[in-house]
Amino acid sequence: MTPRGVRIAGAIAALEGALGLVMAVVLVVREAAGHHEAAISGYGTAAWFAIMGSGVAAAGWALLTGRRWGRGIAVFANLVLLGVAWYVFSSGQLRYAVAVAAAAITVLGLLFSPSALHWLTQSRDSAANSDRCGPDTR
């Protein structure tokens, strides 16, 4: 059974991914409306947000449904978000920085909690047991 903390972390990661996808849509709409940046491509940045947002949303969904492969992606994404929070803080946007950092720290704390680590290692130990007969159900 998937621990409650892992499911909560999955929900937060899925929300982070969904926000990335929303950002991709916003960037496409802005670019299509004629707002062009000199230093960046709106469509290229939108594609980046769509790819990353999809991956993080999929990782969140995986954690919500008890699949362990989503943990690594969620951990990596939230470590990156800590750097984003620092950048936002250094840009003078304290409220946004605190919100991003709080979400990232919450997800990391939940994914490194004792119950989450036990859940992660428990299945690996049982799956590696050669005494089990029958098909591999991983």
Is pLDDT above 90 for 128? no
Task: Give one word for 94, left, alpha or beta, with left for phi > 0 and alpha for psi -120 to 50.
Answer: alpha
Q: What is the DSSP string of 37-61?
A: -SSS-HHHHHHHHHHHHHHHHHHHH
Q: For residue range 73-92, what is the model confidence (pLDDT) as tens digits? A: 999 999 999 999 999 999 99
DSSP state of 71: H
Give the pLDDT mean for 46-69.
97
Q: Domain locations in the chain? A: 4-123
